[in-house]
Amino acid sequence: SAVISQKPSRDICQRGTSLTIQCQVDSQVTMMFWYRQQPGQSLTLIATANQGSEATYESGFVIDKFPISRPNLTFSTLTVSNMSPEDSSIYLCSVARSETQYFGPGTRLLVL
Amino acid sequence: ELKVEQNPLFLSMQEGKNYTIYCNYSTTSDRLYWYRQDPGKSLESLFVLLSNGAVKQEGRLMASLDTKARLSTLHITAAVHDLSATYFCAVDRSGGSNYKLTFGKGTLLTVNP
Nearest to B88 among A31, A42, A92 (CB): A42
3-state helix, strand, coil in chain B (%, to 5): 5, 55, 40
pLDDT value at B5 more than 60: yes
In chain B, whose CA is at the least distance from the CA of A59?
A: B1
Nearest to A99 among B50, B100, B105 (CB): B50
The pLDDT, as a whole number, for residue A80 is: 98
pLDDT (mean) for B85-93: 93
A106·B42 Cβ contact <8 A: yes
DSSP 8-state assignment for residue A27: S
For B26, residues 6+ apart whose C-beta sits below 8 A from its C-beta are B1, B2, B3, B4, B70
Higher pLDDT, residue B31 or A15: A15
pLDDT in tens, B17-72: 999 999 999 988 878 999 999 998 899 999 999 888 889 999 999 999 999 999 99
- Please give the sequence-ordered ranges of beta strands (E in DSSP) within B3-106, or none if there are none: 4-7, 10-14, 19-25, 32-37, 43-49, 55-58, 61-66, 71-76, 85-92, 101-103
The pLDDT, as a whole number, for residue B22 is: 98
B43·A42 Cβ contact <8 A: no
pLDDT in tens, A48-66: 998 888 899 999 999 999 9
pLDDT value at B83 more than 90: yes
The pLDDT, as a whole number, for residue A68 is: 96
Residues of A in contact with B106 (CB under 8 A): 42
The pLDDT, as a whole number, for residue B18 is: 96
Q: A59 to chain B nearest CA, in Å? A: 11
For residues B42 and B12, what is the distance between their CA atoms, to the nearest angstrom?
A: 22
For residues A25 and A96, what is the distance between their CA atoms, to the nearest angstrom?
A: 11
Nearest to B45 among A42, A100, A104 (CB): A100
Peptide bond into B8 cis (omega under 30): yes
The pLDDT, as a whole number, for residue B96 is: 58
pLDDT in tens, A24-46: 999 999 889 999 999 889 999 99
CA B25 to chain centre: 12
pLDDT in tens, A65-97: 999 999 999 999 999 999 999 999 999 999 988
The pLDDT, as a whole number, for residue B93 is: 79
Q: Which helix (H) or strand (E) holds A19?
A: strand A19-25
Which alpha helices (H) appear in B1-113, and where do they start and end? none
The pLDDT, as a whole number, for residue B95 is: 57
Residues of A in contact with B50 (CB under 8 A): 99
